[in-house]
Amino acid sequence: MHTPDASLAVTLATFLFLVRRAGLTLADPAVESACAAFDAGGAPVETLGNALVTAVQARLSGARVEDVVAALRALLGDDHVHTDLGAGADRAARATAIRRAHFGNHVPWLAVIIDRQPDGEVARHWVLVESFDEAARVMDPNPWDDKDENRTIDLGDFMVQWELAGCASVRVA
């Protein structure tokens, strides 16, 4: 099984952009500046996206869940970063916790799932979960490129993929 997640920095950059748009301040000047550049415009989207991904990549010490959580806590503060969605005693409790946390919060949350990659291998990777109701809607990790990567995953399938990956998650509150 692969372990590297080539899209991790892109996924986190998109997450941080959305979190900043929702009103949270980013502690790192380079990431903050790269996000602000999107709002200002004036450069090609690809250039702005690459600058943001590079700034986020510089904050990551590795690709483990602990590395991602540490980077997000450094950027957003301990009070805003929560990793509790996978703590339920069973699937129903975890699903309830997700719905409760997501209600009224329009910022996607991050989850690690096991998924088949384009090369046929199975790997863990981070996804942005945009909604979680009758299905899990996973948003495009890079909404600024020309590839549409939005997808809907049956709720049972999503829960299995997430549970197999260890139920790792990050949400902001």
One-letter identity of residue 11: T
Domains of the chain: 8-172 (3.90.70)
Instruction: Say what the pTM is.
Output: 0.90
For every one of its 173 residues, what pLDDT tens digit does the chain have, with 9 covering 90 and above?
334 576 899 999 999 999 999 999 999 999 999 999 988 988 998 899 999 999 999 999 988 999 999 999 999 999 999 999 998 889 999 999 999 888 878 899 999 999 888 788 898 989 999 999 889 999 877 777 777 788 899 999 999 999 999 999 999 98
Contacts 24+ apart (CB under 8 A), 70-75: 71/12, 72/12, 72/16, 72/170, 74/27, 74/28, 75/16, 75/26, 75/27, 75/28, 75/31
Task: Give pLDDT, residue 110.
Answer: 96
Q: Which of 80, 66, 64, 61 is nearest to 20 (CA)?
A: 80
